[in-house]
Amino acid sequence: MSDQSQAWMECIQAAAAHGEAIRIRGGATKDFYGQRLEGAELDTRGHTGIVNYEPTELVVTARAGTTLAELEQALDAQGQMLGFEPPHFGEGATVGGCVAAGLSGPRRATAGAVRDFVLGTRIIDGRGQHLHFGGEVMKNVAGYDVSRLMTGSLGTLALITEVSFKVLPKPAAEATLVFDMETGVAVENFNGWAGQPLPISATAWVEGRAWVRLSGAEAAVAAACKRLGGERVDGEAAAAFWRSVREQTHGFFEGDMPVWRLSVPSVAAPLGLMGERLIEWGGAQRWFRTNEHANHIREQVTAVGGHATLFRGGDRRAGVFHPLDPVMAKLQTRLRQSFDPAGIFNPGRLYDGA
């Protein structure tokens, strides 16, 4: 294990004093995500190690530079996992980057998002102060909301040095079923099944086929398979499919066309957008490969109560993330000023001027 927090505190204090921007970087597997990359690089990969792991308490604490692969290997040895099934997007993905990006995988709709599993964090703010929020056991959640603020902040509020996660036992059994059906029918079925006592842990629709993963006790999974029908997929093929969706190695994500991530109510009807689509999370997350203009995409999504993010590629002049309303923009500015008064952390990564 290696602790570089003291050196980082001094580095940040010097940068704040001179108004010099800092670009926080882990494994760089998510550099494509967000707007511009700016500032002197602060590499977190030397700050590593699983600080504390209590399998019986379902809690693990790791330093920011620890790779997700190392953490998941340690959990797997105890029959446990990160319930939000985080995407890596590369071999070097780190714990700090996982939280800063705030991205979750196929299990998110039923298990929860990254922020739901963050129990506590240690951070260095823009003044160079090393602060601790939250706890390391599920019953001690003082400051929990502050820890959650770090999730999805893309390093614009503070440098994450350590994270405590709630973990889950791995399911005793899993099965994946596939059905041939059109988009609208798939979304309707996903929502209908979600209201039934079925052990569904992931859903996806792509290329005319609906995929449903069941996880839980062997008897529950077997009963659900019998009830739903469909074609049961071989275990290795099923694992490869869900991994390809999580890591965006599925053929849908290939090519030069921009990839949009749309977050909408799960019951929303198919959107009037041209292009290829992949649907997850029971209909709540919809990926589009399209050349349509950002304004048109966001008009369509806003009309159903959602928001749209330009996830990969495309013209970023209209902004990567959905524009904030005045109240939320003001709140974000105040948060930034509170944690990073000199504005040195990852400037412009989320929005221009933020």
pLDDT of residue 44: 95
- Nearest of 307, 255, 303 to residue 285 by alpha carbon: 307
Give the pLDDT of residue 352: 81
Residue 354 has pLDDT above 80, yes or no: no
For residues 33 and 287, give the distance between their C-alpha atoms in angstroms, rounded to a whole number. 15
Does position 33 have pLDDT exceeding 50, yes or no? yes
Fold for 5-169+334-339, please state it. Answer: 3.30.465
**Average pLDDT across the chain, whole number:** 94
What is the pLDDT averaged over residues 211-224? 98
Question: What single-letter amino acid sits at 8?
Answer: W
- At residue 142, the pLDDT reads 46
pLDDT class for 134, splitting at 50, 70, 90? Answer: confident
- Confirm if 71 and 96 have CB atoms less than 8 A apart: no
CB-based contact 228:211 (threshold 8 Å): no
Tell me: pLDDT of 143 over 50.
Answer: no
CA pair distance 322, 328, nearest whole angstrom: 12
For 30-44, 92-106, 122-136, 289-303, which range has the lowest pLDDT when averaged over its residues? Answer: 122-136
Q: What SS3 class is residue 353?
A: coil
Give residue 162's identity as a one-letter amino acid code. Answer: E
What integer pLDDT is reported at residue 207 of this predicted model?
Answer: 96
Maximum distance among all alpha carbons in the chain? Answer: 66
pLDDT of residue 34 exceeding 50: yes
Q: What is the mean pLDDT of residues 34-60?
A: 95
Nearest alpha carbon to residue 307 among 290, 324, 293, 292: 324
Residues 6 or more apart from 188 whose CB is under 8 A from it?
A: none
pTM value is 0.93
Q: Which two tokens stand for residue 69?
A: 């692969």
pLDDT, average across residues 233-241:
97
Side-chain half-sphere CA neighbours of 267 within 13 A: 5
Predicted confidence at residue 270, as pLDDT, reads 87
> In angstroms, rounded to a whole number, what is the distance separating the alpha carbons of residues 262 and 72?
28
Check pLDDT > 50 for residue 144: no
Residue spans per domain, the chain: 5-169+334-339, 171-318
The arithmetic mean of pLDDT across residues 205-209, rounded, is: 97
Share of the chain above pLDDT 70, in %: 96
